[in-house]
Amino acid sequence: MAVVQTERVCERLRAAGFEDELKVRKVQSLGDALTGRSLSEMPEKGVFVKRLDRLVLDGEIDFAVHSMKDIPLERDERLETAAVLPRDSPYDALVLRHGCGLDELLEAEGKGEREGAVVGTSSVRRKFQLLNYAAERGVEVRVKEIRGNVGTRLRKLKNGEYDGVILAEAGLERLGLGKELEHECERLNCDPFVPSPNQGIIAVVTRRGTEASERLKAVDDAETRREAEVEQEVLKVIGGGCSLPVGVHACCGRERGKESGSGRGNKEGVELAVYFGFGREKYVLRRAVLSRDRSLQEAREFAKLFLAATDTGDSRR
């Protein structure tokens, strides 16, 4: 996945007139190495980016390509996200071994036609959201930890270790698996499956004030950056990370708003959805439409109200 994402960045740089030779250096992150641990049990934040960040700071590489959702809020001030590419799908997808949809799986479980369905995910947020969705339908489903790259997870699914796995739809699309899995794969509705903040965004990180920083700005996507900054602003207020069941999604475009099942879509404003899970039967999910010219300020204000709702137990249910 990292190589595919890096090639996407290189293609955009070449299209923008970057004629210099681009050399790709592969680096294994700590998160990739610790495959035996769940993401919530990692020894520190930023396990997928810290080694690359150190190489950037030491001048061994000019820039690093990341999945933006892996970048922690607290970072070395000498680093900057110089560019973000146009956002791919921010949504989650459920891939099922028997090719039915989530509602069909839960209906069969509820009728006793299928007993003990097991769904794999390494995300605490996805686990809580699936449990919330099933509980609202009076069904219990078992969620089991799964690690490894996309290919490894799909192989475990095919081998019968899981009945379904939840993955980022963007990852499937980047690997060219969308067509192959179209009959087994279902995009999960944004209610309650609000995505992880910055999911679907490829980010390019470099040192501030460098030539690379200036040149990378030529491939920066303004709409995606606006969505990313709104989501990060919310996260600064309510907290988050791999160990917390938090979902934050901002949407500037009408088309994506329609596709998510999240509502109307809004060309004039920025749609925002925020989720926090407390357990199998309780969660808070709130929505708002922010004005574009005050989106960050309004996002902070909305997040403070959302945080108050979680403190008082004012849940969706």
Which residues form the catalytic set? 69-70, 125-126, 147, 153, 242
CB atoms within 10 A of CB 308: 10
Residues 6 or more apart in contact with residue 310 via CB below 8 angstroms: 238, 276, 278, 284
Pick the closest to residue 268 from 233, 287, 293 (CA basis). 293
Strand 283-291: give its sheet, edge to edge: 246-251, 269-277, 283-291
Pick the closest to residue 183 from 260, 94, 104, 100 (CA basis). 100
Residue at token pair 């934050």:
248
Cα dist. 164→90, 150, 258, 266 in Å? 19, 13, 25, 33
Residue at token pair 């995606």:
224
| Measured distance CA(247)–CA(238) in Å, rounded | 11
| Measured distance CA(177)–CA(147) in Å, rounded | 19
